[in-house]
Homo-oligomer: A and B are copies of this chain.
């Protein structure tokens, strides 16, 4: 308590997720302890970077030893808020939405898909397979379900031209964070937004390969 929220650098938070992912792999490998150097190198960064990032949140290491893997995992989960499960909604049950619904990685990390919505009446009432089968519901049900399930996050997989309006509806239903897959900038109305735009990522690659110079 108390000292938290002393504005943590955004890049440090992103790396925290990467550390956690790597630590899971290290733990699965039966390694009990890890140094900042080893953890950093496996992710292409320096040892100092790792230590500085963690230092924003407290002192988790053991001088001369390194970090106990299981302990650090628990600490980072707590920092990120994933030491507790999260109920999430899926909004948009098209191709991409259905693929996301059946993605097993979410549940593994404590993200539980509890409801699916779509505005298309032709899709509503269809059954979607996730970790448990779910029936697609109309948008009008969202606010009720959000309250009932205490869902604070939504994954939004809708066409670009509908995205801002749908995002506003999601926010109005009480959801606090949206993972957006539409290739458009969402205006966050007092809502946390994370966006994944596939073409943006592809363009980063084309720039590296062909951009800058015509090599």
Contacts and interface: CB of A to CB of B under 8 A. Distances in A.
Contact of A204 (B13, B103, B111): B13
B205 A179 contact: yes
Interface residues on A, range: 35 or more
Contacts of A183: 21, 105
A153 B5 CA distance: 41
| Number of identical monomers bound together in the oligomeric complex | 2
Interface in A165-215: 176-179, 183-185, 192, 194, 196-214
B22 A185 contact: yes
A149 interface: no
Contacts of A20: 203
A-B pairs with lowest CB-CB distance, top 4: A99-B99, A81-B210, A177-B205, A81-B206
